[in-house]
Structures are given as C-alpha cells and as structure tokens.
Amino acid sequence: MSREFITKAHYPDDRVLRLLDSGTKFMGDSMHPPKSDLILLYEVVDTQGRPIWGGEDEAEAIKWLRLNLRDGARMLVSAWDSAEEDAHLVGQSLDITGLVLYAFKEGLKV
C-alpha cells in the first residue's frame, strides 16, 4: 500500500502516516511491522493455571494442548526480551486457545 493511497479520508488522524514514516511495511490491506527480536514462549496450562508444558516450539505446544484438551487445558503465549535467566516479560500473556481450536475446527493442519 503506497503512502499516497493512505489519506486523511481513510484515516482521520495521522497515526497510520506516522507508521509509514517509521518503516512499517504494508502487505495488501494490513500493516506488518518488521519481525520482532522478542522471544515467544508458549505454555499449556491446566484449569487452575498450573503449567503442563512450556517452551518455544509452537508445534510441540499444540501437541500438548491436544493431549490435554479434555481436561480443560489452555494455551498461552508470552513475549520475552531475551532467552536468558534474567529475561523480562513484555506485556501480558495472551490466551490463544480459541484461535488454535478455531484452526482445528476449520481443518487447518497445525
């Protein structure tokens, strides 16, 4: 999407124009910022929030979620500023169980 295409008629404030000027890449009709250096940690937790499995491997997380769905397991994803012991959580963990279950329902190979 070109800078000329994005006008005040499309976006009344200048946030999108500032994003364009900051180097954000546009693909089709959506914005995709450059890939982050954050480390994503996936966790499968039980109904009480206790961890069942955790790690950086998305496929392994999905396997553990499938194994524990009947027991009400959920999948969380969190972003960390490094993989070191003193890493800091960036933002809050997100519950992506619904998204993963929707992909299962739609027959997406995950």
Domain boundaries along the sequence of the chain = 1-35, 39-105
pTM value is: 0.66
Mean pLDDT value of segment 79-87: 90
Give the distance between the most distant pair of CA atoms in the chain.
52
Q: What pLDDT was estimated at residue 31?
A: 58
Q: What pLDDT was estimated at residue 6?
A: 44
Whether 109 shows a pLDDT value over 80: the answer reads: no
